[in-house]
């Protein structure tokens, strides 16, 4: 295993030396290309920029439409800036949002390859946002045409899926923006489900159904023991509740009586 690592390192070092990107005299200062990894805290910026330039050349050669990267405490800023200056479209994603997206897709494992695939799929989902947030069907159709022109050659299956389901999607556009947000936003529900799973897994098994229900009840009540959260969420839901009441002609008001 060690011999393979040394051989691989020697091949990479020789390749970088041929292109003027590596100097053995600076081996103690920086290692790799495109990585800020220094032993003495003095990485060589030219090595980093050379790696990013190589990434930009790769993106141009393969006609990459968008480079999506996670925000990692500032380490992504230089890559984002240089790629953007080189004419490569870039986008930053919130790591927590990407992780929630992966969990919603049922992907719990974490490897570099899986993480890269999830970030790419998350970026595609964000690119579809102008379609399902459009005010009218005509506007949504225009945004979908733009999405097709950009991503169609790369992801034809997504385009075909949307085209086949367009008739089912159109009624969604008749709702107000507040109702659409409630339909699309599942973070609060996922949070409650996670707390319930945690409470159930902590106990393992239950002697009776009543014991299981009591466990779930106590877990739900522990989410807001003071009642302040209920008031905060009620204020956030006011616009959505009013929109539901108008759209469904007083059905919510009738339910409160």
What is the model's pLDDT at position 38?
A: 42
Residue 210 has pLDDT above 70, yes or no: yes
Say if 122 falls within a structural domain: no
What is the model's pLDDT at position 255?
A: 56
Say if 153 falls within a structural domain: no
- For the chain, the domain total comes to 2
Domain that holds residue 205: 178-256
The whole-chain average pLDDT of the chain stands at 75
Domain boundary among 74, 93, 112: 93
- Region 230-255 average pLDDT: 73
- Region 152-178 average pLDDT: 85
> Which residue has 């947000």 as its token pair?
181
What is the model's pLDDT at position 47?
A: 63
User: 182 versus 144: which is more confidently predicted?
Assistant: 144
Say if 23 falls within a structural domain: no
User: 76 versus 257: which is more confidently predicted?
Assistant: 76
Domain boundary among 93, 115, 144: 93
Say if 12 falls within a structural domain: no
Say if 102 falls within a structural domain: no
The torsion region of residue 237 among left (phi > 0), alpha (psi -120 to 50) and beta comes to alpha
Q: What percent of the chain has pLDDT over 70?
A: 73
User: 43 versus 99: which is more confidently predicted?
Assistant: 99
Euclidean distance between CA atoms 132 and 128, whole angstroms: 7
Helix segments in 36-136, DSSP class H? 45-61, 77-85, 95-104, 112-127, 129-132
- Region 234-245 average pLDDT: 76
Among the residue ranges 80-94, 115-129, 197-211, 239-253, the one predicted with the least confidence is: 239-253
Residue 172 has pLDDT above 80, yes or no: yes
By CB atoms closer than 10 A (0-12, 13-18, 19+), residue 204 is: exposed
Residue 34 has pLDDT above 50, yes or no: no
Euclidean distance between CA atoms 150 and 123, whole angstroms: 13
This prediction has a pTM of 0.53
Output the six-digit token pair for 152.
């169609």
Say if 234 falls within a structural domain: yes
Residue 246 has pLDDT above 60, yes or no: yes
What is the model's pLDDT at position 40?
A: 46
Check if the beta carbon of residue 187 is closer than 8 Å to that of residue 175.
no
Domain boundary among 49, 78, 93: 93
Euclidean distance between CA atoms 58 and 187, whole angstroms: 36
> Which residue has 């009586």 as its token pair?
257
Say if 228 falls within a structural domain: yes
Residue 219 has pLDDT above 80, yes or no: yes
φ and ψ of 70, to 5 deg: -80, 145
φ and ψ of 171, to 5 deg: -60, -25
What is the model's pLDDT at position 142?
A: 92
Residue 17 has pLDDT above 70, yes or no: no
Q: What percent of the chain has pLDDT over 90?
A: 4
For the stretch 87-111, pLDDT in tens is 888 878 888 888 877 777 677 777 7
Whole-angstrom distance between the N-terminal and C-terminal Cα of the chain?
Answer: 73
- Region 217-221 average pLDDT: 87
For the stretch 117-138, pLDDT in tens is 888 878 887 888 888 888 888 9
Say if 44 falls within a structural domain: yes
213 Cβ neighbours under 8 A, 6+ residues apart = none
Helix segments in the chain, DSSP class H? 2-18, 45-61, 77-85, 95-104, 112-127, 129-132, 137-151, 156-164, 166-169, 177-184, 187-203, 209-221, 228-236, 238-247, 251-256
What is the model's pLDDT at position 30?
A: 33
């Amino acid at each position: 295993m060690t011999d393979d690592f040394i051989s691989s390192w020697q091949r990479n070092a020789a390749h970088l030396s041929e292109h003027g990107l590596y100097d053995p005299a600076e081996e103690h200062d920086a290692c790799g290309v495109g990585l800020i990894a220094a032993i003495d805290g003095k990485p060589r910026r030219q090595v980093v920029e050379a790696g990013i330039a190589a990434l930009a050349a790769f993106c141009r050669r393969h006609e990459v439409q968008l480079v999506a990267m996670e925000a990692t405490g500032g380490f992504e800023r230089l890559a984002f800036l240089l790629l953007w200056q080189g004419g490569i479209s870039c986008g930053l994603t919130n790591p927590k949002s990407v992780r929630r997206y992966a969990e919603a897709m049922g992907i719990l494992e974490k490897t570099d390859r899986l993480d890269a695939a999830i970030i790419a799929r998350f970026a595609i989902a964000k690119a579809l946002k102008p379609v399902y947030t459009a005010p009218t069907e005509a506007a949504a159709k225009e945004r979908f045409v733009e999405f097709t022109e950009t991503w169609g050659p790369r992801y034809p299956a997504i385009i075909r899926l949307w085209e086949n389901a367009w008739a089912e999607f159109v009624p969604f556009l008749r709702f107000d923006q507040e109702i659409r947000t409630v339909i699309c936003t599942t973070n609060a529900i996922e949070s409650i489900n996670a707390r319930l799973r945690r409470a159930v897994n902590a106990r393992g098994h239950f002697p009776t159904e009543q014991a299981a229900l009591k466990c779930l009840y106590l877990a739900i009540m522990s989410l807001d023991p003071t009642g302040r959260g209920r008031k905060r969420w009620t204020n956030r839901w006011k616009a959505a509740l009013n929109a539901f009441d108008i759209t469904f002609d007083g059905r919510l008001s009738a339910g409160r009586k």
